[in-house]
Chain A
């Protein structure tokens, strides 16, 4: 009798313990990719044959005992090819616990209110996006968290790109001082050319703001601005004036000021100055470039480069595209001291879009060449086409045009800005 009782007691406690083990069997917090999600579903399918879970389906709703996120019970999981949506139960402060767990896992982030009055927390990083939607049943404030409040966690995974062009942020160095030189123009009734370090960055413009870092290669830079009268006018109009400042956006310091001058007459005015363009990083850029002004083969080289770009995109040749654009994209992102993962990923996805949508490219035949930086840096303006290279797809078009240079020791042009 005693043995029977002990046996009974043991059986009961075993079933209770295994019941508790069941309670935390399928942990969604360990999943880091869509394939790991599929593995988890397969595991759930195997261990719960009567539930008819189909690990091959691309849309399923699973309510299984034992689903959890780092210990917070999940009442229902909706898993599709594009996202996973986990809903907690409405007991025991599950919503509050899940929020705390995610804050430890992903860091603190500011809440926002959704249209339905729920409170959202969003964490986006390079590999996954997690959005926590908290349904406060009893009130609108996080302070009134009750046990009945529940949460929905939506997890989406970002595509993995192994190409260096998409992962530039891993290589970006940061520094204590990260100056960002901005040219601010305040002018009226005129247009102007802006030339920095002997590079024409704009002609006949009315824009008021220019980022200068991309054209800086050393501690001192030259700036030339040429205000001109409006097209079609005989002279500068009565109230035309020009003024400009160069500021460091990082510390709001004014680096250089061009005092306001009244513009008179009909000839362009030339304003020249130098400014301190100290940076903790100077790019190689076109500094070792060859003077192209006497290059007889220059036209052919320009066409050859754009042809190469066109072919690379049509062939979806990711390595070739990476090699073509890496130096430009890296130097420009480093000059911005930009460590945000989205910058390079967005740029890469833009290149992917051209690859995906284009079935033809056209290179301009007739164009003007502008020589900058003592002939080392060129820019071309297409005349027979709207731009240097046009990609065409079905109801899709995209044009590209870049600053080019020829590195020392090479016979081919390279994209640099």
Chain B
């Protein structure tokens, strides 16, 4: 209930915040928490009996561990600003509320980048674009953009996309102050830093509480090497006085516990009043000495420390748009929401349209096709019922078509439209999606591009389709492994002639033919011959743009195909 590491500022606002957090709790809940916490606190004070002073030790030279000296590194800032260029969210509905979970899709890491010291970030939603056309900008700044958990995002209404600003604040310039046994007392910005004790791996110093918190503290051994830190504790109370403070708090909690268990309070408000009147009397909450006590432990025998203070900071901001992971195709799609005993289908405005008794645990496949653990379903809007589909598997494609395997894994795909009606004249042994483009492959190894009406356009000569669509070009190869490119309509715009190639980006790519790598544009026109025959793995620069490098980095070109001077 009370954190051990509290800040240097006066404690009443914290106390008030702590008290107001009890607003929504019942006395019964508070009683249970206090009973639990007293037990935990008791074992905690036992811990303090063997206080930190027992961990002071001398470290042998060979056991020393070091770390790098602090420096501001702003190269990560650009990277951090560009990390959100492909963000999607999964929206689910529960009890008439929206839940969103975000996901980063561009560089293999699903969480936001970890930031260095002195860097802080803030992610703020600015505009929500609902599927019904409404746009909302007010009271959304507090909705949480979380990459691991579902967070509440207001009433149940389908969202197409969200504009979000990302702001980074980082230390641009800093001061540092060094304190050592030779120079134990230093003045800084009207306050004082005092080295009280340095023994073995332990150092204890104090800071006037008028000095802002340092952004980094590093310890040095006798040779001036930076030691790795193994632990620290910051407090308003001097070490040695901690135990007394905790014993006082424990006694107080025990008193509280007795009063609660004896039902001395009528309601939560009375309890809060009691806390307000009594807690502020505790010494623990009255930090009178104006000093912050810091104890640090290192993997080495520490002789001096450097404290780094922020002098100047800078902010940079960028915006990005997070899209709904399942783009909503039809304007009249319904959305499923589970309540305790029913499955409710809502329209774009969050209004229930169809209610079906029973909780299915339905997951939307696409449009009106759903599944749960045991069955596939089609939501029959006209009949206001869920039709069970007894098939082996259902696949939904980005262009709105549905592929169904009726009986077995080895079946051919039959194509259906969004109204569960069969469509198209062929069935396909295999289907493959590249972006929004759907390829169907028949049993005789012919490749077709399928539009949203299942009209099939044969792409002659194709034996393989590669995975990326960009600049309206998809890489394909023929039966001799020669590479060419098709457009999204299925036209072979660059015939099969390359021995090796990368996908397009920013309008160009590198391809190998006649022995060397050349840059070509989207029409296959050669822009430049690099004269190199060996390409390295593609890299990205700090702005997220492609770098083409050849022959183990000996020669590099930027995303425009311009030579990068070394």
Mark A residues whose CB is within 8 Å of B.
359-360, 362, 385-386, 390, 392-397, 399
Indicate if the CB atoms of B408 and A390 lie closer than 8 Å.
Answer: yes
Question: Which residues of B325-382 have CB atoms within 8 Å of chain A's CB atoms?
Answer: 371, 373-376
Residues of B within 8 A of A385 (CB): 407
Residues of A within 8 A of B408 (CB): 386, 390, 392, 397, 399
Q: Does B390 count as interface, using CB distance less than 8 angstroms?
A: yes
Indicate if the CB atoms of A392 and B374 lie closer than 8 Å.
Answer: no
Indicate if the CB atoms of A362 and B407 lie closer than 8 Å.
Answer: yes
Residues of A within 8 A of B410 (CB): 386
Return 10 A-B CB contacts under 8 Å, by A number: A359-B390, A360-B407, A390-B408, A392-B390, A392-B406, A394-B373, A394-B374, A394-B393, A397-B409, A399-B408
Q: Does B391 count as interface, using CB distance less than 8 angstroms?
A: yes
Residues of B within 8 A of A395 (CB): 392-393
Q: How far is the CA of A56 from the CA of B358 in the complex (A)?
A: 28
Indicate if the CB atoms of B393 and A360 lie closer than 8 Å.
Answer: no
| A307 → chain B closest CB, angstroms | 16
Q: How far is the CA of A11 from the CA of B408 in the complex (A)?
A: 77
Indicate if the CB atoms of B391 and A392 lie closer than 8 Å.
Answer: yes
| A309 → chain B closest CB, angstroms | 16
Indicate if the CB atoms of B407 and A359 lie closer than 8 Å.
Answer: no
Q: How far is the CA of A141 from the CA of B391 in the complex (A)?
A: 56
Residues of B within 8 A of A394 (CB): 371, 373-376, 392-393
Which 7 A-B residue pairings sit nearest by Cβ, starting from the closest?
Answer: A397-B408, A360-B390, A392-B407, A390-B407, A359-B390, A392-B392, A362-B407
| A358 → chain B closest CB, angstroms | 9
Indicate if the CB atoms of A396 and B407 lie closer than 8 Å.
Answer: no
Q: How far is the CA of A386 from the CA of B406 in the complex (A)?
A: 13
CB-based nearest B residue for A358: B390
Indicate if the CB atoms of A359 and B375 lie closer than 8 Å.
Answer: yes
CB-based nearest B residue for A357: B374
Residues of B within 8 A of A397 (CB): 392, 407-409
Q: How far is the CA of A360 from the CA of B376 in the complex (A)?
A: 13
Q: How far is the CA of A360 from the CA of B407 in the complex (A)?
A: 8
Mark B residues whose CB is within 8 Å of A.
371, 373-376, 390-393, 406-410
Q: A394-B392, A395-B393, A397-B409 are in contact. List 18 more A-B contacts (CB 8 A).
A: A360-B391, A360-B407, A362-B407, A385-B407, A386-B410, A390-B408, A392-B392, A392-B406, A393-B392, A394-B373, A394-B376, A394-B393, A395-B392, A396-B392, A397-B392, A397-B407, A397-B408, A399-B408
Q: How far is the CA of A141 from the CA of B376 in the complex (A)?
A: 56
Residues of B within 8 A of A396 (CB): 392
Q: How far is the CA of A390 from the CA of B392 in the complex (A)?
A: 11
Residues of A within 8 A of B374 (CB): 394
| B254 → chain A closest CB, angstroms | 25
| A401 → chain B closest CB, angstroms | 14
CB-based nearest B residue for A398: B408
Q: How far is the CA of A386 from the CA of B391 in the complex (A)?
A: 16
CB-based nearest B residue for A361: B407
Q: How far is the CA of A390 from the CA of B390 in the complex (A)?
A: 13
Q: How far is the CA of A362 from the CA of B409 in the complex (A)?
A: 14
| B473 → chain A closest CB, angstroms | 35
Q: How far is the CA of A359 from the CA of B375 in the complex (A)?
A: 9
Q: How far is the CA of A411 from the CA of B409 in the complex (A)?
A: 36
Residues of B within 8 A of A392 (CB): 390-392, 406-408
| B346 → chain A closest CB, angstroms | 26
CB-based nearest B residue for A391: B407
CB-based nearest B residue for A360: B390
| A258 → chain B closest CB, angstroms | 37
CB-based nearest A residue for B408: A397
Residues of B within 8 A of A386 (CB): 408, 410
| B374 → chain A closest CB, angstroms | 6
Q: How far is the CA of A397 from the CA of B392 in the complex (A)?
A: 7
Q: How far is the CA of A249 from the CA of B282 in the complex (A)?
A: 90
Q: How far is the CA of A399 from the CA of B392 in the complex (A)?
A: 13
Q: How far is the CA of A207 from the CA of B31 in the complex (A)?
A: 75
Interface centre among B376, B390, B391, B408 (most CB of A within 10 A): B408
Residues of B within 8 A of A360 (CB): 390-391, 407
| A264 → chain B closest CB, angstroms | 36
Residues of B within 8 A of A393 (CB): 392
Residues of A within 8 A of B406 (CB): 392
Interface centre among B371, B373, B406, B407 (most CB of A within 10 A): B407
CB-based nearest A residue for B409: A397
CB-based nearest A residue for B393: A395
Q: How far is the CA of A359 from the CA of B390 in the complex (A)?
A: 7
Interface centre among B373, B374, B392, B393 (most CB of A within 10 A): B392
| A353 → chain B closest CB, angstroms | 15
Residues of B within 8 A of A359 (CB): 375, 390
CB-based nearest B residue for A387: B408
CB-based nearest B residue for A362: B407
Q: How far is the CA of A386 from the CA of B408 in the complex (A)?
A: 9
Q: How far is the CA of A385 from the CA of B409 in the complex (A)?
A: 13
Q: How far is the CA of A359 from the CA of B373 in the complex (A)?
A: 13
| B66 → chain A closest CB, angstroms | 37
| A354 → chain B closest CB, angstroms | 14
| A306 → chain B closest CB, angstroms | 14
Q: How far is the CA of A42 from the CA of B376 in the complex (A)?
A: 43
Q: How far is the CA of A360 from the CA of B375 in the complex (A)?
A: 11
Residues of B within 8 A of A362 (CB): 407
Q: How far is the CA of A380 from the CA of B391 in the complex (A)?
A: 25
Residues of A within 8 A of B390 (CB): 359-360, 392
CB-based nearest A residue for B374: A394
Q: How far is the CA of A395 from the CA of B365 in the complex (A)?
A: 14
Residues of A within 8 A of B407 (CB): 360, 362, 385, 390, 392, 397
Q: How far is the CA of A397 from the CA of B410 in the complex (A)?
A: 9
Residues of A within 8 A of B409 (CB): 397
Residues of A within 8 A of B375 (CB): 359, 394
Q: How far is the CA of A392 from the CA of B374 in the complex (A)?
A: 12
| A315 → chain B closest CB, angstroms | 15
| A122 → chain B closest CB, angstroms | 34
Q: How far is the CA of A390 from the CA of B409 in the complex (A)?
A: 11
CB-based nearest B residue for A396: B392
Q: How far is the CA of A385 from the CA of B410 in the complex (A)?
A: 10
| B393 → chain A closest CB, angstroms | 6
Q: How far is the CA of A396 from the CA of B375 in the complex (A)?
A: 11
Q: How far is the CA of A397 from the CA of B411 in the complex (A)?
A: 11
| B130 → chain A closest CB, angstroms | 33
Q: How far is the CA of A395 from the CA of B392 in the complex (A)?
A: 5
CB-based nearest A residue for B375: A394
| B405 → chain A closest CB, angstroms | 9
| B348 → chain A closest CB, angstroms | 30
| B351 → chain A closest CB, angstroms | 31
| B25 → chain A closest CB, angstroms | 28
Residues of A within 8 A of B376 (CB): 394
| A67 → chain B closest CB, angstroms | 29
Q: How far is the CA of A156 from the CA of B392 in the complex (A)?
A: 34
Residues of A within 8 A of B393 (CB): 394-395
Q: How far is the CA of A390 from the CA of B407 in the complex (A)?
A: 7
Residues of B within 8 A of A390 (CB): 407-408
